[in-house]
Amino acid sequence: MLAEGIWLACPAAAQAEHPAVAIAAHYAREGDDLSGINPYIVALFALNEVSHERNLGEVREFILWYLKHLNSRDRFGLSGTIDDYIVADGVERSAGSYDSADGYAGLFLHLVHQYVLKTNDVALVRSHWKEIERIARLLVALQDRKGLTRALPGSSARYLMDNCEVYGGLTGYTALRGRLGKRESAEWARVRNAVKRAVIAAFYDRENALFFWALDDGARMASSWSRFYPDAFAQLFPIYFGLLCEQPLLKQQLWETFLARHAASLAELPAEQRIVIELTRVTMEASLR
């Protein structure tokens, strides 16, 4: 499984001053190009740093960078999204696009909550509450009547991984509201619970006892344990982000089947995928205590 220091490699000193690149550099391998910044991937790296309580100052700087680079109005008319970026010769520029609106936002809110749990840095949240709330409102804007979020505006695709990240993000956002002493909100509880209900109702494949990895125009994309990505990998997300707390047997079954089918090939996976697996392992161990 994932060892605590396994990702440390050769940092790209020339660009490591950039907050996102500084985090990504800890996970770089020889010859990796760090000029492209995918905020979602860097957020996963930052989440791993938080889980090991290391480089927390760098994580804080990345969080501040992310909040500073939110779109006030993107090409879809949405507020609270963030583009991918390119850094070259010390200059950054927007790539003008992002892979998903819901996944980026949900994961980032989850990261901020986990960072605050480790550091008690409530001051950061208080100082940037308007931006954090804007990200949470983005998730509401992407939510359909059933409770699921779309990956992109105008798209019919709803993804299991993204919606689990949204649930985790809304869980974190709700907790951060409490840390700031804000009153409990029936609205946010309704939004968060709607995601969970919809994921279980729409994505769970009862016949095969695993989750569909996507829904698109009413079609359900069946998962197979024999295909790692996205099928088998997606099964980890309901576990890690807490959607199966009331279903411990299903949670255990999914985890054990994943390991039985894919444990032998984990070392070959990209860092970001191994991080998700390790976080899920820690979650499973905690649930069995």
Please state, in angstroms and rounded to a whole number, the distance separating the CA atoms of residues 193 and 189: 6
pLDDT at 259: 98
CA 209 to the chain's CA centroid: 24
Dihedral-angle region of residue 123 (phi above 0 means left; psi in -120 to 50 means alpha; beta otherwise): alpha
Distance from C-alpha of 138 to C-alpha of 287, rounded to nearest angstrom: 31
How far apart (Å, rounded) are the C-alpha atoms in residues 67 and 4? 28
CB 232 within 8 A of CB 262: yes
Query: For domain 19-287, which CATH number applies: 1.50.10.10, 1.10.10.410, 3.40.50.2300, 3.90.1150.110?
Result: 1.50.10.10
Pair 211, 258: CB distance under 8 Å:
no
Task: Let me know: does 39 contact 20? Beta carbons within 8 Å.
Answer: yes
289 residues of the chain, pLDDT tens digit each = 443 433 434 344 434 689 999 999 999 988 888 999 999 999 999 999 999 999 999 999 999 999 999 999 999 999 999 999 999 888 999 999 999 999 999 999 999 999 999 999 999 999 999 999 999 999 999 999 999 999 998 899 999 999 999 999 999 999 999 999 999 899 999 999 999 999 999 999 999 999 999 999 889 999 999 999 999 999 999 999 999 999 999 999 999 999 999 999 999 999 999 999 999 999 999 988 7
C-alpha to C-alpha distance for 118 and 147, rounded to whole angstroms: 30
How far apart are the C-alpha atoms of 219 and 270, rounded to whole Å? Answer: 29
Q: What is the pTM of this model?
A: 0.94
